[in-house]
Amino acid sequence: MARRKIVAGNWKMNKTPSEAKALCEELIPLVKSDDVDVVFCVPAIDIPAAVEAVKGTNICIGAENLYFEDKGAYTGEISADMLLDAGVKFVIIGHSERREYFAETDETVNKKVKKAIEKGLTPIICCGESLTQRKQGIYLDWIRMQIKIAFQDVAAADAAKTVIAYEPIWAIGTGETATDDQAEEVCKAIRDCICEIYDQATAEAIRIQYGGSVNAGNAASLFSKPDIDGGLVGGASLKADFGKIVNYK
Ligand code: 13P
């Protein structure tokens, strides 16, 4: 069975709540689609405004992070229950910016993935190599390690419902996109790794996005690759162009 494409915007630290409402309203008519799942991952404080704005549309709201404990003395953190209660369906976990600036590790990514799954949120699990790692020729080993740790103690049936985002760090916000073949090589390697950890059925079911300077001009060729099931989009998700990316065909 063909996998349904999923295109998610990662707004990062952009838009106030009132700006978020306005952007949702601008994008709603542009991202209508019968065959692509559409997610806006927004800053935590924008979640109520975004959930309200997209009611009755095909858009789901996602968060950009969560904490792996249920509750307690974790000043500044946000729990899965809080996100769920606010109407969130998806959560980005382990984005390279969180790994770089907020000391996230493969181990905390694994804890967050398990908590999201336990609570019924769909994790969008990020992985990807630096330019140095690509030049060293270790990028596939690196990403296989990230995937193996992220999925430690996750059951096959749960893994099948998650989303993985391959985001080469050198392509994020740089305007330098991985070529279609470079992106496909890694997305296929990730699927093969899922097959090794679990089985063919899980590998066939899981959706793998490419992220890194996706735009209205390159989405169609990237998304036509057999192992690329959509995109995780940064800069271009804040513009009308996001509609063109969702409706790439
Ligand atoms: P850009 O699309 O701005 O390169 O960002 C990609 C990204 O980090 C999405 O999570």
pLDDT for 173: 87
Atom of ligand 1 nearest to the CA of 237: 2
Query: Taking all residues of the chain, what is their mean pLDDT, rounded to a whole number?
Result: 97
Which class for 145: exposed (0-12), middle (13-18), buried (19 or more C-beta within 10 A)? Answer: middle
Distance 73 CA to ligand 1 centre (A): 32
Distance CA 116, CA 162 (A): 10
- For the chain, percent of residues with pLDDT exceeding 90: 97
Q: Is 26 a catalytic residue?
A: no
Atom of ligand 1 nearest to the CA of 173: 4
Q: What is the average per-residue pLDDT within 154-182?
A: 95
Atom of ligand 1 nearest to the CA of 214: 2
Which tens digits make up the pLDDT trace of 9-45? 999 999 999 999 999 999 999 999 999 999 999 999 9
Residue 98 belongs to what domain range?
5-246
Distance CA 84, CA 90 (A): 9
Q: Is 118 a catalytic residue?
A: no
pLDDT for 76: 97
Q: Which two tokens stand for residue 102?
A: 């907020």
Nearest CA to ligand 1 atom 7: 234
Q: State if residue 212 touches ligand 1 by the CB under 6 angstroms criterion.
A: yes
Distance CA 240, CA 28 (A): 10
Nearest CA to ligand 1 atom 9: 234
244 pLDDT band, cuts 50/70/90, is very high
Q: State if residue 172 touches ligand 1 by the CB under 6 angstroms criterion.
A: yes
Which residue of 131, 233, 239 sits with most ligand 1 atoms within 8 Å of its CB, as the best mutation to test the pocket?
Answer: 233
196 pLDDT band, cuts 50/70/90, is very high
Distance CA 104, CA 101 (A): 8
Residues listed for the chain: 249
Q: Taking 70 as the threshold, does the pLDDT of residue 1 lie above it?
A: no
CATH of the domain at 39: 3.20.20.70
pLDDT for 2: 85
Structurally, the chain folds into a number of domains equal to: 1
b/e map of 33-66 (b: 16 or more CB within 10 Å)? beebbbbbbbbbebbebbbebbeeeebbbbbbbb
Q: Which residues contact 121 (CB under 8 A, 6 or more apart)?
A: 66, 80, 83, 84, 88, 89, 90, 91
Q: Taking 80 as the threshold, does the pLDDT of residue 172 lie above it?
A: yes
Q: What global pTM score does this model have?
A: 0.98
Q: Which two tokens stand for residue 157?
A: 């049936």
Which tens digits make up the pLDDT trace of 106-139? 999 999 999 999 999 999 999 999 999 999 999 9
pLDDT for 176: 85
Q: State if residue 234 touches ligand 1 by the CB under 6 angstroms criterion.
A: yes
